[in-house]
Amino acid sequence: MCKPAALCLRCSDERNYGHGAVVEEFTISYGAVTHVGQVRTGNEDSLLADNNVFMVADGMGGHNAGEVASLMAVEQLREAAGSIIAETDLVQALEQANEVIYAESMTNHLHHGMGTTLAAMVVLENNTLVVAHVGDSRVYMWNEGALSRLSKDHSYVQELVDEGIVSIEEARTHPRRNIVTRALGIDANVEVEANTFPVTVGAWYVLCSDGLVDEISDADIAKVLERCTSPHEAAQALVDAANAAGGRDNITVIVVSTASPDAEVVEPVEVPSSSGVDDTDPAGIPVVEKAAAASVSASAPAKKKFRFGPVLFWSALGGIVLAVLVVFAAYGRTGYFVSFQGDDVVVLKGRPGGVLWFNPTVEARTTLTRSDLSDELALEIAGEPTFGESSAAQTYVNGIRDEVQPNPTTTLPAVVTTTSSSTSTTSSTTSTVVE
């Protein structure tokens, strides 16, 4: 049984504990649960719950290296916790964790290719909190009966959702939902997404691995939270719900409460007024900067009108045309996609079909051919899936290789030539990785 102190744990059984700490005019209390699930034999999730610092890490990699990566991430954040006083500090701590995990992956053949997704939250002394994530581990806020996401998945299916190809519900059962486009430890550098929010007194914040959200929907998460009376009860109930729905992956949940220390007076922390401003983006993620931006715009002095003469008009028009061509050129040469060249599977640089006269070029050739693929996989590649980075496309191809060759005789990647460089419970850039 873990002692009620600073928590840093990864385990395959089930444990419970609770802890609380007072920070300024609200009290932080939390519950955390991690469970191996109903299918897997080991737990590659790790978690950290230490006063005002929280993290869920979902490891990946062979030879049990996933649990090593997730625990290394947790340890790195735990060591840096005392020095985190701003968003940049949390980002720097996670970037340092990436360097440590990547170095271990490069020097220890048993840990080669290991990585971890993560979702982290740090409550600061100025009544703000910082949320950071890499991959598809998530952070939610539950407040006054409403559930909202504070993070947006770095995943292949999220890109499909953003493009309107699949719905949010379809994404939950998509065959490629296990492909993440960012992870700690996979590349020498990682882009950590971080945002700072005002603390909402009386709210619950939920950090979780994809073992929860792959089993139950956001609506189901909200229903569970609605009937719970404490963070620990909520964390346990969410894990139980995911296990009841199948529990096909490890499940880790931390629920953090920011309650008023005076039960009779629950005053929310003052938030900049957003009257008349939509405070959510199309994905439902709050954007606290919108209100401030609106006020600045409203107070800015009106610009004087400028009357163009004929020479200035044509000069301006020419400049606009040139700028448009530059944009199209840049767009036409950005991005990567996987497609067929004859019967061969290749990675191409550019946009499918080309943009104006900017045609895609072969970035890398693979060992895969059309005859290696099932009809479903052939149709998927014929759809020319796109990626932000060459490494992401190549990792996608390697995932296909692993699927069609489940017991490969070699550890060499499918991409062979490159043409250009480029329950434990507690009362607790763009690289594609297959979890």
- Structural contact between residues 216 and 307, judged by C-beta atoms closer than 8 angstroms: no
Whether 135 and 182 have beta carbons less than 8 Å apart is answered as yes
Contact 390, 349 (CB under 8 A): yes
6 Cβ contact list (under 8 Å, min separation 6): 50, 51, 78
Query: Which residues are bridge partners to 175 per DSSP?
Result: none
pLDDT at 398: 85
Residue 216: which H helix or E strand, with range? none
Lowest mean pLDDT among 130-134, 185-189, 384-388, 415-419: 415-419
Please give the structure tokens belonging to residue 426.
Answer: 């507690």
DSSP 8-state secondary structure symbol assigned to residue 51: T
H-type alpha helices, 227-369: 231-244, 289-299, 310-332
Single-letter amino acid code for the residue at 295:
S
* Whether pTM exceeds 0.75: no
The pLDDT assigned to 178 comes to 79
The answer to whether residues 293 and 158 touch, using CB atoms and an 8 Å cutoff, is no
Question: Sign of torsion, CA 70 76 78 84?
Answer: negative
Of residues 67, 15, 70, the one with CA closest to residue 42: 67
- Cα distance between residue 49 and residue 314, in whole Å: 62
Helix intervals (H) in 247-353 = 289-299, 310-332
What backbone torsions phi and psi does residue 289 show, to the nearest 5 degrees?
-80, -15
pLDDT digits (tens, 9 = 90+) for 252-305: 999 999 998 764 333 333 323 222 323 333 333 332 222 222 222 222 233 333
pLDDT band at 333 (very low <50, low <70, confident <90, very high): low
SS percent in the chain: helix, strand, coil, step 5: 35, 25, 40
pLDDT at 309 over 80: no
Express each pLDDT in 182-194 by its tens digit: 999 999 999 999 9
Which tens digit of pLDDT belongs to each residue from 358-392?
A: 688 888 888 889 888 888 888 888 888 888 888 88
Phi, psi of 42 (to 5 degrees): -130, 155
> Alpha-carbon distance 177 to 198, whole Å?
32
Cα–Cα distance measured from residue 167 to residue 110, given in angstroms and rounded to the nearest whole number: 38
What's the CA gap between 26 and 258, in Å, rounded? 6
Residues facing residue 205 across a β-bridge:
141, 256
| 377 vs 156: CA distance, rounded Å | 15
Phi, psi of 48 (to 5 degrees): -135, 125
Q: Where are the domains of the chain?
A: 7-263+283-288, 336-422+430-434
**Ramachandran category for residue 329: left, alpha or beta (phi over 0 → left; psi -120 to 50 → alpha):** alpha
Is CATH 3.40.630.10 the right assignment for the domain spanning 7-263+283-288?
A: no
| Residue 420 one-letter amino acid | S
Q: Shortest CA distance to 216 belongs to which of 234, 251, 180, 241? A: 241
Residue 68 to residue 61: CA distance in whole angstroms? 9
Mean pLDDT of the chain: 77
Tokens standing for residue 335: 């991005």
Q: Which residue has the higher pLDDT, 288 or 81?
A: 81
DSSP state of 277: S
Q: Which of 16-25, 274-283, 329-338 has the lowest mean pLDDT?
A: 274-283
The pLDDT assigned to 25 comes to 81
Model confidence over 346-363: pLDDT tens digits?
998 888 877 665 688 888
Cβ contacts of 20 within 8 Å, gap of 6 or more: 27, 28, 29, 30
In the DSSP assignment, the letter for residue 308 is: P
Q: Is residue 368 within 8 Å of residue 341, measured between CB atoms?
A: no
